Chains A and B, each alone.
Chain A
């Protein structure tokens, strides 16, 4: 049961243009979403996150948009740089207890390979 889906296995973008990576989820209990970047033979590196009470969060060249009604989030990278070439994973989490004060596991999508051409 794939609760977090990244339907595009790969994306190719020209340097300087915008990269848009998409992610869909099915579990309405998820209330916190994260994007990680991963280079080969390394662990995932945290990029940006967003709470379900927001619809947008921005950090430098990275912006994450959340559409709760569509259960969809996207990561925008502007402008794209060759060093951004990596695998991007979206992840989601939900409260692990009734009080919502404890969180645990992340549920990851399958990843999207981004290639930024010079």
Chain B
């Protein structure tokens, strides 16, 4: 999982601010997945993207959350007007193809909303 890069590793925001989380997939990987882990819980799927396309966003909250994976640059998970319940660890994973290939995870971004 060392190949998937996420930044920042830690992010502190006050309620109502915006949070931007970045993910650079492993070299050669064009599929990106975002997961969220709330305290004392397992990882929950949020969104699956390929370059310039959202493939599956069934796990994304309907409001305030958005994700993109532009042609150039990292994938971005954006949370607008953060609330305390958004405090969690956000993990990005990547795979080479959208097959049963293993998803490799980054180290995560720990978001704390004050």
State yes or no: do A and B come from one complex: yes
Interface residues of A (CB under 8 A from B): 4, 6, 32, 34, 36, 41-46, 49, 51, 89, 91, 93, 96, 101-111
Contacts of A44 in B (CB 8 A): 1, 43, 91, 105
Q: Which residue of B lies closest to A93 (CB)?
A: B100
Q: Does B44 contact A (CB under 8 A)?
A: yes
Determine if A96 and B56 form an interchain contact, defined as CB atoms under 8 angstroms apart. yes
Q: Which residues of A are found within 8 Å of B44, using beta-carbon distances?
A: 108
Q: Given A43-B1, A104-B98, A106-B93, 15 more contacts at CB 8 Å?
A: A6-B42, A42-B1, A43-B107, A43-B108, A45-B1, A46-B1, A46-B103, A51-B100, A96-B56, A102-B99, A103-B99, A105-B45, A105-B48, A105-B56, A110-B41
Which residues of chain B are within 8 angstroms of A42 by Cβ–Cβ distance? 1, 107-108
Point out the residues of chain B lying under 8 angstroms from A51, CB to CB. 100
**Shortest distance in angstroms between B103's beta carbon and chain A's nearest beta carbon?**
6
B17 on the A face (CB < 8 A): no
- 28 contacting pairs across A/B (C-beta < 8 A): A4-B42, A32-B100, A36-B105, A41-B107, A41-B108, A42-B107, A43-B91, A43-B93, A43-B107, A44-B43, A45-B1, A45-B105, A46-B104, A49-B100, A51-B100, A91-B43, A93-B100, A96-B98, A102-B98, A103-B98, A104-B48, A104-B56, A106-B43, A108-B35, A108-B44, A109-B42, A110-B41, A110-B42
Name B41's closest neighbour in chain A (CB-CB).
A110
CA A28 to CA B45, docked complex, whole Å: 19
A106 touches B100 (CB 8 A): no
- Chain B residues, Cβ within 8 Å of A106: 33, 35, 43, 45, 93, 103
A-contacting residues, B14-65, CB 8 Å: 33, 35, 41-45, 48, 55-56, 58-59
Bound-state CA distance A68–B99 (Å) is 21
Q: Is B112 positioned at the interface, with any CB of A under 8 Å from its CB? A: no
A4 to B106, CA, bound (A): 22
**A96, B33: Cα distance in complex, Å:** 14
B102 at the A interface (CB under 8 A): yes
Task: Rank and list the top 5 A-B pairs by shortest CB-CB distance, nearest first.
Answer: A43-B105, A105-B45, A108-B42, A110-B42, A108-B43
